Amino acid sequence: MPATPDSVLRAWFDGLWNRGDEDTINRLMHPDGLIHGLPTPDGQPIRGRQNFKPFYQAFRSAFPGIAVEVQQVVTQGAKAVAYLRVTGAHTGSGLDIPATGRRIEIYGFAMCLVAEGQVVEAWNCFDFLGMYKQLGADLAMPPTRTAG
């Protein structure tokens, strides 16, 4: 049976994030796949497996027991979007923040375009600000303007 966008998306989160099988990247991501919406040093999308692997390794080392629960998936043609719950304990320093031991729980969406059983492009929208707050990071918000 051919892979569907739904099955590829579910296999990605289960294999890569829940089971920690890094080879999932080689199997399910197109070699030149484009990933949008993840926190990167330059704020740019990640292109290609080789550029995604360092992001994965850093995030995984910060949260070695990370769990991603697929709450719901909606598909349309070659695209699938999932609503996800992410939990884990911050026991490593992969995010350039010393391990806090704190637990996180965030929610988000991931949409992917699938061709021939691989993710060609993906868009992510997760509550990373909420995650950093749960870790106790000192995040300065821009000053608010007062009417004057």
pLDDT tens for 99-125 read 999 999 999 999 999 999 999 999 999
What the chain holds in terms of domains, given with CATH numbers, is: 5-134 (3.10.450.50)
What is the rounded average pLDDT of the residues 12-21? 97
Q: Range with the lowest mean pLDDT among 8-12, 98-102, 144-148?
A: 144-148
Res 66 pLDDT > 90: yes
Average pLDDT score, the chain: 93
pLDDT band at 95 (very low <50, low <70, confident <90, very high): confident
Alpha carbon distance 70, 81 (integer Å): 10
Residue 56: per-residue pLDDT: 96
C-beta of residue 87 within 8 angstroms of C-beta of residue 64: no
CA distance 4 to 100: 39
- HEC per residue, the chain: CCCCHHHHHHHHHHHHHHCCCCHHHHHHEEEEEEEECCCCCCCCCEECHHHHHHHHHHHHHHCCCCEEEEEEEEEECCEEEEEEEEEEECCCCCCCCCCCCCEEEEEEEEEEEEECCEEEEEEEEECHHHHHHHCCCCCCCCCCCCCC
Q: What is the pLDDT of residue 141?
A: 65
Q: What are phi and psi of 19, to 5 degrees?
A: -100, -10
Task: Give the pLDDT band of residue 1 (cuts 50, 70, 90).
Answer: low
d(CA 119, CA 78): 10
How do residues 47-61 score in pLDDT, each as one tens digit? 999 999 999 999 999
Mean pLDDT of 83-88: 98
